[in-house]
Structure 1
Amino acid sequence: MAASAPGLRAAIYVRLSRETEESTSPERQRAACEALCKARGWKVVAAEEDIDISGYSRGLDRPGLQRVLSRLAEFDVIVFFKIDRLARSTVDFAEIMKITQNEGVALASASEPLDLTSSMGRAMAKVIAVFAELESDTIGMRVSSAHEHLRREGRWTGGRVPYGYQVADNPEGPGRILVVNPGEAKTVHAIVERVLNKDSLMKIATDLSKSDVPSPGHASRQTNGRRSGSKQWYTTTLKSLLTNPHLLGQVIEDGKPILRTDGLPLVTRPPILDMDTWHALQDELGRRAGAGEQRRHGTALLRGVLYCGVCGSRMYTFTAKGRLRYRCIGRLKHRQRLGEVSTCYGPSVPAEHTEDHVTELFLEKFGALEVVRMVERAGEDFRPQIRQAEEALGDLEKDRYERGLFKGEDGARRYAEQYTKLEDRVASLKQKQSEAKPAGVEEVRTGQSFADLWKAASVEGKRDILLEAGAYVEVAPAKRGGRRMDTSRLTVVFGEDGKLRRADADGQDVAKVAAELSAATDGDD
């Protein structure tokens, strides 16, 4: 049936990315489509809209369009304002044509004189779709370029506001900028302090949720994008926040910092964290994520510290008669791995008494000592900037001598001025590189004792403190007839010796661990 025949059942489809232009407003689109249907004697049986939905990024995944395509048996023709309202890419338009043709449904544009029932008309429609796609790409490039320019000027281009910041009027001109949100910045500093003091992310997230502090994605602080009505914090929320360089004032796009022309991150807003704190935070988070350092909520204090004196295996917690105990499961591991019965009978010790004894010895040895945090100092490296400046010199020479630019006396003068500036910049950067400070590790005194740190830390934090102190506890077999915990069964070692014993028990390369410990000690000296 020809699309021009009267009496057809018509479905009107309207789409608009943003309801801002009157020329293509939903009302105007619908009116034009209804006028076409009236002029041709078609009966409008359905009308669907996709408002504030991009036809380019969403493709065919649009609610209104899907409703139309799911009811093709009820229509004879689909009417739209222009081809670019139906599809923004040639591929999508061709797919819609294929789907509708298979169902015997025609397509009609209210503002373009096309007969889509003929092969020539369909070919012309595809040509128009190509130009619609080109126009969409051009608009996208202009918008991206404008956003890039605004970001480099320090202006806010919209979207989700990074946690710790808030939008404010630009005091130096038009537009909006980001400034530090005092309340959220205070929350960030409190979180960082707890992380550096060995508190677990699970415990921090739980406390934040109980304190009713809005999470980064909560609707109270996000005006658009994905929002949540819950103030619940999660460990994933904390990891995402604490590893995002926006805390340094850097401008982030697609998860990566935007770089300046000299290759360094673009910083256009006040930082929330200083560089030393940032590096200490990343070191701590990286250490927790390292092999063998994965933890779960409720990890026992001596897990990874307590070892069996019979078979050398780690000891794990279990509950017997309502009381928590540590026991060796080396016998079970041996049977599972080798299918043989181990000579280890699986000694066990009461958790509370064992933990209290190890804690007492640790505080006796380290409690009064001051906690000194080792902070990695980033070295200065101007080589990327030198390379970029030298490449700019080469491009300038090609502009003059190969591309024929800088013609005439004025051109020669401008060329000489630019060349001189670039030469001076290269010389200045090379001088800075010769005096650059190397990377290293600095000791930062905290004024806090290990006893204070221990008192404030969670179970997971205390466990980390013991592991860093090189704690190693070996449990000897129980004596016959012994009913109460005999602390003489426990051999407690701290320091490098403890770390080496742990490495040996865990099957690690002891020589390699010893070399790493030696290198770290030399670095401290």
Structure 2
Amino acid sequence: MATTAIYLRLSRESDDSASTETQRAAAHQWLTAHGHDPAEAIEYIDAGVSGAKPLEQRRGMSALMVARPDVVIAWKLDRYARSMSEFLRLVAWAEAYGVKIATTDNTIDTSTPTGRMVGNVLAALAEWERSMIAARISEGHETRRTQGRWSSGRAPFGYQITRRDGAAYLAVDDAQAELIRAAVAKLISDGTVAGTARMVGLSEPQWRRLLKSPTLRGHRAHKGALVLSADGVTPVQFADPILTAAEAKAVRERLLALATGTDRAPRRATPLVAGLAFCYRCAGRLNGGTSDKGIPLYRCKAGHVTIYAETLDQRVEAEFLRTWGKFAEHVVRLEGGNDLSDEMIAAQEQARRLGERMATAGPLMLATLSEMEAELEAAYAALRAAHDPEVREIQVPTGRTMADAWEASPESRSRLLADLHLRVTLWPKQEAERLRVEWGPEGWAEAELQGIALVESGLLDQAPV
């Protein structure tokens, strides 16, 4: 007796027009009309599965193909597949194992040449319909992108969705934008991606992706490319920018510096004089470590010398306070005039895009692009003429001494010591003076010489007494 199978598939559970009950009832009627007992038919169900999905990746269809029944009945052709290639694969499988494939509307019956031909034609139409729907959806998204409208999904961090004229657009979320600007300012100065991510409440990967994308400039990327207007040069403005072009450039440079290690912030667990203390014998840097009892140490990698970290750190602190403690602390401030760097950077970016567009433009479009080039050149020339920032680095006293700075910022002590060119040399225990502390790029030992040099360079107010 021939074995029979009923194949039921739903793309969506809520699809009432093609519910499993509707499909099952039609399949039972067909089996009865063709001399089969519906009660003996085995059902294979794929719920919530697209007809474009490969046959083997559907649980129900995969089980059916393993079972190899004599007859398979489905409601309509699109229940089997919405792809011509997948339906042809199903037909090839059926012919290889002598399986008859049919539909309840009698359009498909692979046991006859006419049925196979009709099945192929209908499968091709189903695939064409699906591709047309996808094309319409894609064109709709493209239209919304070129109009600066928001297509779908949640708004990116820093923005919110607003509606006007019956369409969705992005607007700056003031609260989130303030968090972003504060975090970016910290990142550019001396922050890290992980630390600033906590400031805005995002994970580190989410924050890094946002910083690398054009989103914070009010632009969008699609498939890895910046969304441009019809001229192929000007970016579509989806919303007001949160960051200026200069800030966005500074962020890119900071991320590059952190990634390459050229400006990576020191770890908090780094010993005070890490990289500044050396072995007398091999001149190798002393590494941090611990003794058998867990006491922090500095030790030579080759094992020549070892010293308790507390002993060395206290000596360095005492030498710093004795030599530099009374001097005034200074910070660098920038003074400038008319700074048009932000506008110039934006013009340079537009010029790059214009050049790329002109390289592939035809004669008709080239004239328009040449006019844009002339206008851009004139605008950039005007910017350069007006750009006179006169930016100067000014040493400004903070109102506190170096000793005050030492006490107020323990996390910055290592960097402060490095800026003063500290070098500590550790000698064996039998030496009367195990620790030799030197300051200055040439290893000067006399504080008077250091003070004179720093006064001449403008870093300090007066030489030490």
CA contact under 8 A between 2:219 and 2:227: conserved in structure 1? yes
Query: How many aligned residue pairs are there?
Result: 421
CA RMSD of aligned residues (A): 4.7
1:289 equivalent to 2:259? Answer yes
Per-residue deviation at 1:269?
0.9
1:353 to 314, 319, 334: 314
SS of residue in 1 equivalent to 2:287: strand
In structure 2, distance between residues paired with 1:445 and 1:489: 34
AA matched with 1:474: R
Per-residue deviation at 1:236?
2.4
Counterpart in 2 of 1:314? 285
1:327 to 299, 303, 316: 299
Per-residue deviation at 1:289?
0.6
* 1:479–1:296 CA distance, 2 compared to 1 (3 A): closer
CA contact under 8 A between 2:56 and 2:62: conserved in structure 1? no
Counterpart in 2 of 1:167? 161
Counterpart in 2 of 1:489? 436
2:207 to 213, 238, 244: 238
In structure 2, distance between residues paired with 1:480 and 1:425: 76
* 1:9–1:431 CA distance, 2 compared to 1 (3 A): same
Per-residue deviation at 1:8?
4.0
Deviations 1:141-185 (A, max 9, x none): 22111101112212211134312222222x2x1122222233332
Per-residue deviation at 1:273?
1.9
The sequence identity of aligned pairs, in percent, is 21
In structure 2, distance between residues paired with 1:368 and 1:313: 33
What is the TM-score normalised by the length of structure 1? 0.63
In structure 2, distance between residues paired with 1:160 and 1:306: 50
1:369 to 328, 331, 344: 331
Counterpart in 1 of 2:454? none
CA contact under 8 A between 1:152 and 1:268: conserved in structure 2? no
In structure 1, distance between residues paired with 2:10 and 2:54: 12
2:181 to 189, 202, 208: 189
Which protein is bigger by CA-based radius of gyration? Answer: 2
1:14 equivalent to 2:41? Answer no
1:300 to 244, 247, 270: 270
AA matched with 1:432: A
Per-residue deviation at 1:250?
0.9
AA matched with 1:318: G
* 1:355–1:34 CA distance, 2 compared to 1 (3 A): farther
Describe how 1:432-451 pairs up with structure 2 within 5 A.
432=379, 434-435=381-382, 437=384
* 1:396–1:185 CA distance, 2 compared to 1 (3 A): closer
* 1:192–1:429 CA distance, 2 compared to 1 (3 A): closer
Show structure 2 runs of 5+ residues with no match: 444-465
* 1:276–1:432 CA distance, 2 compared to 1 (3 A): closer
Counterpart in 2 of 1:45? 42
SS of residue in 2 equivalent to 1:14: strand
SS of residue in 1 equivalent to 2:128: helix
AA matched with 1:93: F
* 1:24–1:164 CA distance, 2 compared to 1 (3 A): farther
CA contact under 8 A between 2:197 and 2:207: conserved in structure 1? yes
Counterpart in 1 of 2:191? 199
What is the TM-score normalised by the length of structure 2? 0.70
1:69 equivalent to 2:16? Answer no
Per-residue deviation at 1:491?
3.0
* 1:489–1:396 CA distance, 2 compared to 1 (3 A): closer
Per-residue deviation at 1:271?
1.8
CA contact under 8 A between 2:6 and 2:27: conserved in structure 1? no
AA matched with 1:324: P
Deviations 1:197-248 (A, max 9, x none): 423444455677xxxx5x4xxxxxxxxxxxxxxxxx3x32332232222111
Per-residue deviation at 1:318?
0.8
CA contact under 8 A between 1:10 and 1:37: conserved in structure 2? no
